[in-house]
């Protein structure tokens, strides 16, 4: 059987993104390089490789997850 994936996980190019909220230290989006303002907006982090991005950048990602190689 394939491993179960949480309903809270969004898969994009092999990344397994979990929705996150405020976290310290300050985080940066790896797609647009902008600051992730966790207080105001949610963001995503890949549980496999740690890639971080804004919610708005999630569908713009072009880098395949390093764990899929």
CATH number of the domain at 9-60, please? 3.30.60.20
pLDDT in tens, the chain (69 residues): 445 567 789 999 999 999 987 666 788 999 999 998 866 678 899 999 999 999 999 999 999 999 886
Q: What is the pLDDT of residue 38?
A: 66
Locus of tokens 């993104």: 17
Q: What is the pLDDT of residue 39?
A: 67
pTM for this one?
Answer: 0.81
- Judge whether 68 and 14 are in contact, CB under 8 Å: yes
In the chain, what are the domain boundaries? 9-60
Q: What is the pLDDT of residue 1?
A: 46
The 3-state secondary structure of the chain, one letter per residue:
CCCCCCCCEEEECCEEEEEECCCCCCEECCCCCCEECCCCCCEEEECCCCCEEEHHHHHHCCCCCHHHC
């Amino acid at each position: 059987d394939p491993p179960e994936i949480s309903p809270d996980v969004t898969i994009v190019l092999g990344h397994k993104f979990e929705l996150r909220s405020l976290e310290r230290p300050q985080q940066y989006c790896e797609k647009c390089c902008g600051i992730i303002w966790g207080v105001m907006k949610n963001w995503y982090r890949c549980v496999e490789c740690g890639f971080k991005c804004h919610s708005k950048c999630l569908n713009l990602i072009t880098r395949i997850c390093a764990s899929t190689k």
